[in-house]
Amino acid sequence: MNHLLSRRKILTYGALGAANIALPSLGFAASDLQKQLHWLIKRQRREGRIAASERTAWSVYDFRSSTKLVSINENRSMQAASMIKIFVALAYLYLNRQAPHQYAYGDTQRLVIENMLVKSDNDATNLVMRWCGGPKNVAHLCQKASGWRYKQLRLVEYIPAGGRTYRNKASARDYSRFFYDLWHNKLPHSMELKRILSIENHDRITT
């Protein structure tokens, strides 16, 4: 296959695709990248890095060329775990946009949301969900904020002690829609969300 990617580049682009961060223009067909990701996933399964029973979902979109590069299990509802936190932030920022006097966004709220998104703080996440009226209302607010674009988003529980949550779900397409709208400044407080998500931490891939 021409234009073969190194394993590190595949992992980097794959991780970026999972979060739908803007990718540079890639000099080969989208189908080639998708085939290489399929190959990488199969290899990871053979090596025992991914369990045989575990499913993965991928969505890679090039914002510069407006091209979908990879779609693997994109519409499948998957366990969301910590990735629900972007939706929790969206819900509260939507409330602030609608009723700023009732749902303030000052230093206290900003610090809590930064801890949630940058440090993946589960206690901060549960606090923001309580501000929003609970997990189910978080999902409802996200739908209102986006025009009902998140088809597989299901938020039904707070993050329990130990951080293991299996009932909250979303699809790769839901994340793709979130980051597409964020990129185009269509979400409430898009610039603030971008600022927080750009804060460096030890395990976030940036470009």
Q: Which has the closest alpha carbon to 61: 191, 188, 172?
A: 172
Residue 31, pLDDT > 90, answer no
Domain end marker among 29, 55, 72: 72
- As a whole number, mean pLDDT of residues 139-163 equals 93
In angstroms, the CA 109 to CA 112 distance is: 5
Q: Which domain holds residue 68?
A: 7-72
Which comes out higher in pLDDT, residue 109 or 62?
109
42 & 85 share domain: no
Contact of 80 with 170, CB cutoff 8 Å? yes
Contact of 118 with 68, CB cutoff 8 Å? no
In angstroms, the CA 81 to CA 168 distance is: 7
DSSP tag of 154: B
179 & 193 share domain: yes
Could you identify the residue written with the tokens 């189908």?
31
Q: Side chain identity at 173, as an amino acid letter?
A: R
At 204 the pLDDT is 56
Domain assignment present for residue 205? The answer is: no
Three-class SS of residue 44? helix
128 & 29 share domain: no
Q: Side chain identity at 199, as an amino acid letter?
A: I
Domain assignment present for residue 105? The answer is: yes
At 17 the pLDDT is 42
159 & 87 share domain: yes
Instruction: Give the C-alpha distances (Å, rounded to integers) separating 95 from 88, 99, 102, 138.
Output: 11, 6, 8, 10
Domains identified in the chain, total number:
2
At 206 the pLDDT is 54
Residue 5, pLDDT > 70, answer no
107 & 180 share domain: yes
Please, what is the average pLDDT of the chain? Answer: 85
Residue 154, pLDDT > 60, answer yes
Model confidence at 181, in pLDDT bands (50, 70, 90)?
A: very high
pTM attached to this predicted model: 0.81
For the chain, what is the radius of gyration of the CA atoms? Answer: 17
- As a whole number, mean pLDDT of residues 80-101 equals 96
65 & 149 share domain: no
53 & 140 share domain: no
Q: Tell me the pLDDT tens digit for each residue of 38-76.
A: 999 999 999 999 898 888 999 998 888 888 899 999 999
Model confidence at 9, in pLDDT bands (50, 70, 90)?
A: very low
Domain assignment present for residue 130? The answer is: yes
At 80 the pLDDT is 84
